[in-house]
Amino acid sequence: MNLRKTVRNILIAIGAVGILIQFIQPVRDNPQIDPAMTIQTQMQVPAEIASLLDRGCKDCHSNATVWPFYSYVAPASWLVSYDVMEGRKHLNFSEWGKYKERKKVQKLSGIYQAVTDKTMPMPKYIPLHPEADFTDAERAALSAWAQKEGERMMGGEAEGVETTE
């Protein structure tokens, strides 16, 4: 069989699949935001902390996702949509007010942990979002804030937020 023909057929097949998968569109919605329910309204969030949440977290943990161009191109679109849906399910700053008090303390402790351990912002998110590449000082500020807010919610108990598993 003619090699050039084989290569051509393979390329055509790949191209056809590449076009066909574009018809499988994932969810890419931004549910409406009630300003009274957001973390910015519900908690004491200084401007510099709000800015860090904005730069590093809001795309996956709020209803104000900025959907990048590649979120419109399969298969990247499926991966982005999955992360946003999962991220919102675990922690949604736009729907913070729906969490019970205990849950809020838990989420703040989770933020402290994730930011300290550098598991959040998700490492794979950073190369395409350099603004989410926090400095050590920014990480320290964000985790200290999460811990302090948790303690404040618990009435300033001496033990503070439980930050270990």
Burial 88-113 (b: 16+ CB within 10 A, else e): beebbbbbbeebeeeebbebbbbbbb
86 sits near ligand HEC (criterion: CB under 6 A): yes
Q: Sign of torsion, CA 53 58 62 63?
A: positive
Specify the residue, 16 or 53, whose C-beta has the smaller distance to ligand HEC.
Answer: 53
> What is the x/- site pattern for ligand HEC, positions 15-54, by CB under 6 A?
----------------------------------------
Q: From CA 138, how far away is CA 87, in angstroms rounded?
A: 21
Smallest gap from Cβ 161 to ligand HEC, in A, equals 12
61 sits near ligand HEC (criterion: CB under 6 A): yes
Q: Looking only at residues 118 through 157 of this chain, which bind ligand HEC when binding is defined by CB under 6 A?
A: 120-122, 125
Residue type, 74: A
